[in-house]
Amino acid sequence: MKDLNNNKERVIVAGVSHLQPDFDYTMDELSSLVIANNMEVADVITQKADSINGSTYFGAGKVTEIAEIANADDVSTIVLNDELTPSQIRNLEKSTKLSFMDRTELILQVFSNRAHTKQAKLQVEIAKLQYQLPRIHPSGNPLDQQSASGGLANRGAGETKLELDRRVIRKRIDYLKNQLKAVDKTIDVQSRRRNNTSLPLVSLVGYTNAGKSTTMNGLLNINKDDSNDRKVFEKNMLFATLDTSVRKIDLEDNTSFLLSDTVGFVSKLPHNLIESFKTTLKEAAAADLLIQVIDVSDEHWRNMLKVTEKTLNEVGVKGKPMIYAFNKADLKPGQRFPTIEGDNIFYSAIDKKSIAKLVELIKIKLFANYQEVSLLIPYKDQKITEGILQNSQVLKTDYLNEGTLITAKFSPHELELYHDYIQETANAKK
């Protein structure tokens, strides 16, 4: 039921604990997801059990209790902490006359509300339809089919209608996948163009609301060509953005790199959603360096770190150099910041000194194997000269009769690319 004062639907969140060590954490997160979906938590109900009830998720007594509490709270929707089978949802709704939403459906709704680009909208709609496909049945489905109730006389017609609707949904999924491939192809071309600049790519990854976008904007603030129109959207909310943003960071010492922000993760992220967003996460797969942003002020940050790394493994992002960026250190009592400990940095994304320290660590990780080299490029290869002047850490430029003599710091990949022009090589930067 909606609260007439704030126009938000009031719901009960509920879950079954069967000895999971992170149960309380996932229940807290479920409440946060409910709030992110513009709903209000009226009550929280839990049950301890050795296993999930295959028929109704909860035991029979708990189902009755939930119905009574919902009636007393004047609530008509129950949000559950796990993904339920279609039959479990139907059995619960039949026995209680209430509406039930599982965790997967809730996450899909949140993603749907946050999707703004064509790519994100397609990805979310595909995932929603794949979720709905096994859940349509003769008594009601997403396509608003006619009811098949009414005894054996209507049973055959209902089943035929059900198969027809499933076929329509499958056809819609195939169509959307083709649309997504076309969008992905365009984005892939743009990504390859970025890769051809020879600039290293740094990708921000991490849990939703850990501070990735705020960190990106902090790094843009120290950009020597700072511009507010290049900032990305940031807000203290789950899944504030689903879109990948890529920005070029130009530092005062002529060091440059590309920085990408990726969609955030959450525990029990639906498999269909992970599959749909694989292309969005290609930026992370192509990165030279990952920065995993972790909200160290959250008592569950270790769980968040595990979920992020598990999800990265699922989408094939493995073995990448990584900085563990423990953000919001200013909100954790007794935590000194900014401090660097190996690959870890404790910082605050809204603190200039912290961002400067993060840049130090990025440069150590990203440019440690760069070498100072002089290249002599003939004037006929002007495009190569322009590319180096635009994208490399140029230290000195001289215009000679034979061509342009450029002294700069180059990555191993660039040294292979410009091998024929090399004149002098300094000691590798340690």
The pLDDT of residue 80 is: 98
The pLDDT of residue 191 is: 60
* 242 belongs to an annotated ligand binding site: yes
* 334 belongs to an annotated ligand binding site: no
Number of domains in the chain: 4
- 253-257 long-range contacts (CB < 8 A, ≥24 apart) are 253/393, 254/392, 254/393, 254/394, 254/395, 255/363, 255/367, 255/393, 256/199, 256/391, 256/392, 256/393, 257/199, 257/200, 257/201, 257/202, 257/362, 257/366
* 425 belongs to an annotated ligand binding site: no
The pLDDT of residue 241 is: 59
The pLDDT of residue 234 is: 55
CATH number, domain containing residue 417 = 3.30.70
Phi, psi of 116 (to 5 degrees): -120, -40
Same domain, 83 and 153: no
In Å, how far are 251, 385, 399 from 374, measured between CA atoms? 21, 12, 13
Answer whether residue 423 is part of any domain: yes
Same domain, 333 and 379: no
Indicate the SS3 state at residue 47.
strand
CB 206, CB 263: distance < 8 Å: no
Answer whether residue 237 is part of any domain: yes
Same domain, 296 and 380: no
Same domain, 268 and 228: yes
Answer whether residue 209 is part of any domain: yes
* 317 belongs to an annotated ligand binding site: no
Same domain, 49 and 124: no
* Nearest Cα residue to 407 out of 364, 371, 354, 363: 371
* Nearest Cα residue to 234 out of 355, 349, 117, 112: 349
Longest dimension (CA), the chain: 94
* 243 belongs to an annotated ligand binding site: yes
* 263 belongs to an annotated ligand binding site: yes
* Nearest Cα residue to 314 out of 357, 352, 283, 271: 271
* 330 belongs to an annotated ligand binding site: yes
* 209 belongs to an annotated ligand binding site: yes
Give the 3-state secondary structure of 163-187: HHHHHHHHHHHHHHHHHHHHHHHHH
- 40-91 per-position pLDDT tens digit: 999 999 999 999 999 999 999 999 999 999 999 999 999 999 999 999 999 9
* 211 belongs to an annotated ligand binding site: yes
Answer whether residue 106 is part of any domain: no
Q: Which residue type, as a one-letter code, is found at position 31?
A: S
* 207 belongs to an annotated ligand binding site: yes
How far apart (Å, rounded) are the C-alpha atoms in residues 90 and 138? 12
Same domain, 18 and 151: no
Last-in-domain residue among 166, 187, 208 = 187
* 352 belongs to an annotated ligand binding site: no
The pLDDT of residue 430 is: 41
For residue 39, the surrounding DSSP H or E stretch is: strand 39-48
For CA atoms 23, 105, 317, 360, give the dihedral sign. negative
The pLDDT of residue 144 is: 47
How far apart (Å, rounded) are the C-alpha atoms in residues 280 and 122? 12
Answer whether residue 194 is part of any domain: no
CATH number, domain containing residue 269 = 3.40.50.300
* Nearest Cα residue to 73 out of 100, 42, 103, 98: 42
* 328 belongs to an annotated ligand binding site: yes
The pLDDT of residue 242 is: 64
Regions of the chain with pLDDT less than 50: 141-155, 427-430
Same domain, 252 and 361: yes
Same domain, 356 and 210: yes
Q: DSSP strand E in 282-321: where? A: 289-295
CATH number, domain containing residue 25 = 3.40.50.11060
Answer whether residue 193 is part of any domain: no
The pLDDT of residue 232 is: 64
The pLDDT of residue 285 is: 85
CB 307, CB 265: distance < 8 Å: yes
Same domain, 290 and 167: no
- 131-178 per-position pLDDT tens digit: 999 998 765 544 444 333 333 344 455 557 888 889 999 999 999 999
Answer whether residue 353 is part of any domain: yes
The pLDDT of residue 7 is: 78
Same domain, 162 and 76: no
The pLDDT of residue 406 is: 96
Give the 3-state secondary structure of 69-126: HHHHHCCCEEEECCCCCHHHHHHHHHHHCCEEECHHHHHHHHHHHHCCCHHHHHHHHH
Answer whether residue 97 is part of any domain: yes
Same domain, 216 and 314: yes
* 327 belongs to an annotated ligand binding site: yes
Same domain, 225 and 339: yes
* 181 belongs to an annotated ligand binding site: no
Last-in-domain residue among 318, 338, 367 = 367
Reading the block at residue 324, the tokens are 């563990």
- Per the structure, the complete domain to which residue 420 belongs is given by 371-428
Last-in-domain residue among 69, 101, 133 = 101
